[in-house]
Structure 1
């Protein structure tokens, strides 16, 4: 493995792990706040137990996300020094603000974890909500920085010189809104289905059914609402990509020839040599309609893009198909769950419905990783789109492959420890609030 590939692989691996920690850290505080609100309104101790269980999970993921995020910050400077030298002063503002949001999140989480029975109950609940809001703000700010790489703005560039820098315009670039919305909804979908699926497992095993049913309902409702909204977000993002990054859109669909009524390809194996897609299902005109809102408008093909500027087609196309395919599966599961809530309430206790959520546990995160792959690989060969190539930004330092192997081992170990801690925490708190246990004694509310 050469140093350039090792540097890209290390960033991909680090981001691949961090994005999961970050998404759970963004979404779980809102689940925690909903459970806490229900406890305050009903006085049901099960909701208090659920809030405590989820808050411990939030604390574990917050610490993990902080560590992995810090590692990424160092990697940006160490692996891509030329990129940071030029880009840092331009898109540094969202990173600075993200640091502020991180500190607010840390303080609020401390208040929440240690504030039980010490603060006013509604102030205590508010601190938990602030954890979620500040975590969400952190995610949006980081996505805004990434969006700048896809849609650079806020500076003039000529003869290798960056001038007239405007950090505000750089942060609110043309891509930040579509990417942020798509990422937030994806985070709620992936995390919601994962959490609902885990509680479904416990219900199917008949472990503390009432406790896990309450948890399942909160996570499942949030997840299914998000999954039903995701196609709208995807359409918004696709139209934005078609306008700003036609090469990425062409790679996503393995679309080689510019044409009107361009077909949308489902599946298929790209044949880059013959510039076609084998075994794919083509829906005439749909790609033109999705990209431009008009089936008669042409979609730029890869043939009209200089070969040196084309993204890797095969991996981008496969990642896009995985994202779309899994997204549609989760959409269908969500539609069934909504139908059950509204019309077929008898389905809510059916084993088959719970098993659908169990099978969906990994799907949201696989789709999330696939979408991130489309975003990053589809931008290649640019690290700053149409400004700086990725190969020109990498460090000249040798031995990056060794660093890649070490970081991979650290992240895999860290993930295993996190899974173990979360599993143990859920089982422990679940037992404390098991109403089927003869030793269970709910606390009485003070008069």
Structure 2
């Protein structure tokens, strides 16, 4: 009996140890799945957002530059339009691929989240899909309509593209805003039993998040465009093409940067009211207090609940949040440790975002003052031309993108450990499917392949012109699509074009492109092949063909 009891005891102990070991393995596997799912989602979002901002901002810039060409028929504006339209098409294609992969990841990596709240967010996701397809349809019309549509009709196709891109941002941002400040639903035993159809659009953080993101998209687009043309100017290409490209990009960036400061201040106040723990992580406030200081820089110390090596401005945070030094700021200690975000990471990202934003605003102010002074003195061009200023313009593009990425880290990292703030934790929503390392590796390889292909394509496009030694020596081209409209009865059909590129040797030798005086009477987009005033024929092959083709059409 004693021996039997001993054997049973050993078996029980062994079984208990095995159970504990199995539970530990499951816990480690669950933690690994959560970490990999978060990492994969972060990589996917970071990759996709870099292209999404161009899908929002670039159509509005194209509307302006092509509108200027339609009005003036200045070939410089047409050269900018064609170059930007090709770049936009490539960026849109890559963004469509990454966005499609991202849409599948929500269901694959976060099935519990989609099972519970998919119905709440379904309207936003569905409308975003409609906006995407609308944008894609009109992009096809825009790209293949160069020789099929009149200039004004071609320009008009940009309006649905720009509006649809902006609406896509609206629908996605409202979904994210609802995750930050959920409401307008009823849950019973962990199940949503009723929800208002427009619940995401009613989220408290939706308005300022939308404006904040739209301004960020315009800043990133304008900054990158300005940086590209600033590099050209640094290489000695001081012609109208590069000067106007720089001017358009910088104007967008420098107008949006000060507005972003105002919107960001309003957004921080709403976050302090609706998500006080996120604000505490952003500002590094460990303990609830009045007369809270604003700390610039530094590293948050979790043990002491204070920011080390930062610059403190007494009372300023309370004044900014509540317009009174007596306003109370909730600290991280107000919630259990397991419900706190990573304050060190969030505080760092917040300071990067604010620091880069302030640098861009300072650059905007300095540029505005310089333009004002040059205008008073009658100097041309109005924009500064010194190399230090051009290098600052080059840096403005990457700085805008880095600030945007840091802002998303604040938004998402500050909500942790919740996927839906106060309702569902991240570890409750993650998939339990095995094989996460394989899925993660495949996703990373996909994005690496897309990135390499994109770099190669853009480099090839960048080296393909326009090259301006005086006028356009090489222009961007579109597919040689024949005119779809038949010639009127009794008239011969127009001769096919021998080449989409004009002969560089026949172009005028001057320091800038011909202006509004060099207007083409041809239909379509043949202004680049039109002879400048005083140079009829000039030995160019096919001289006079533009007018003949216009009559035939």
| Cα distance in 1 for residues equivalent to 2:284 and 2:123 | 36
Pick one of 436, 449, 467 that aligns with 1:400: 436
Matched residue, 2:59: 29
Bigger relative contact order (CA 8 A; separation at least 6): 1
Q: Does 1:381 align with 2:417?
A: yes
Kept in 2, the 8 Å contact 1:111–1:127? The answer is: yes
Question: Which stretch has the larger CA shift, 192-201 or 342-351?
Answer: 342-351
Q: Does 1:334 align with 2:357?
A: no
Kept in 1, the 8 Å contact 2:120–2:199? The answer is: no
Kept in 2, the 8 Å contact 1:288–1:297? The answer is: yes
Question: Which stretch has the larger CA shift, 419-428 or 432-441?
Answer: 432-441
Q: CA, structure 1 residues 397+351, in 2 after alignment: closer, same or farther (shift >3 Å)?
A: same
Matched residue, 1:352: 388
Q: Deviations over 1:386-429 (max 9, x none)?
A: 00001000000122122222212221221232133223223324
Matched residue, 2:315: 285
| Cα distance in 1 for residues equivalent to 2:130 and 2:152 | 24
**Cα offset for 1:208?**
6.4
Matched residue, 1:122: 152
**Cα offset for 1:270?**
1.0
Map 1:1-150 to 2 at 5 A. Answer: 2-150=32-180
Pick one of 155, 158, 169 that aligns with 2:185: 155
| Cα distance in 1 for residues equivalent to 2:54 and 2:400 | 12
Q: Deviations over 1:291-332 (max 9, x none)?
A: 223332111111122222211111111110100111111111
| Cα distance in 1 for residues equivalent to 2:402 and 2:348 | 12
Q: CA, structure 1 residues 208+406, in 2 after alignment: closer, same or farther (shift >3 Å)?
A: farther
Q: CA, structure 1 residues 377+434, in 2 after alignment: closer, same or farther (shift >3 Å)?
A: farther
Matched residue, 1:443: 529
Kept in 1, the 8 Å contact 2:298–2:309? The answer is: yes
Pick one of 354, 359, 369 that aligns with 2:405: 369
**Cα offset for 1:219?**
0.7
**Cα offset for 1:262?**
0.8
**Cα offset for 1:132?**
1.5
Kept in 1, the 8 Å contact 2:241–2:468? The answer is: no
- Tell which structure's C-alpha radius of gyration is larger: 2
Pick one of 447, 463, 467 that aligns with 1:411: 447
Question: Which stretch has the larger CA shift, 6-15 or 408-417?
Answer: 408-417
**Cα offset for 1:433?**
9.5
**Cα offset for 1:274?**
1.7
Matched residue, 1:234: 264
- SS of 1:152's equivalent? coil
Q: What 5-or-longer segments of structure 1 have no aligned partner?
A: none
Matched residue, 2:230: 200
Matched residue, 1:311: 341
| Cα distance in 2 for residues equivalent to 1:48 and 1:218 | 14
- SS of 2:289's equivalent? coil
TM-score of the aligned structures, taking structure 2 as reference length? 0.78
Kept in 2, the 8 Å contact 1:93–1:171? The answer is: no
Q: CA, structure 1 residues 440+172, in 2 after alignment: closer, same or farther (shift >3 Å)?
A: farther
Q: Deviations over 1:173-206 (max 9, x none)?
A: 1111111111111111122111101110011102
| Cα distance in 2 for residues equivalent to 1:247 and 1:42 | 54
Q: What 5-or-longer segments of structure 2 have no aligned partner?
A: 1-30, 474-503, 508-527, 531-545
- SS of 1:167's equivalent? coil
Kept in 1, the 8 Å contact 2:120–2:200? The answer is: yes
Q: How big is the alpha-carbon RMSD for the aligned residues of Structure 1 and Structure 2?
A: 1.8
Q: Deviations over 1:131-186 (max 9, x none)?
A: 12211111121111111110112311232121221121333311111111111111
TM-score of the aligned structures, taking structure 1 as reference length? 0.96
| Cα distance in 1 for residues equivalent to 2:331 and 2:41 | 29
Kept in 2, the 8 Å contact 1:254–1:276? The answer is: yes
Question: Which stretch has the larger CA shift, 429-438 or 285-294?
Answer: 429-438
| Cα distance in 2 for residues equivalent to 1:153 and 1:123 | 44
Stretches of 4+ moved more than 6 A in 1? Answer: none
Q: CA, structure 1 residues 6+264, in 2 after alignment: closer, same or farther (shift >3 Å)?
A: same
**Cα offset for 1:361?**
2.6
Kept in 2, the 8 Å contact 1:208–1:434? The answer is: no
**Cα offset for 1:207?**
3.2
Map 1:175-324 to 2 at 5 A. Answer: 175-207=205-237, 209-324=239-354
- SS of 2:295's equivalent? strand
| Cα distance in 1 for residues equivalent to 2:398 and 2:45 | 17
**Cα offset for 1:356?**
0.7
Q: Deviations over 1:104-141 (max 9, x none)?
A: 11111111111124223222111113212211111121
Q: Deviations over 1:241-293 (max 9, x none)?
A: 00110000000111011111211110011111122111111111211122223
| Cα distance in 1 for residues equivalent to 2:235 and 2:469 | 17
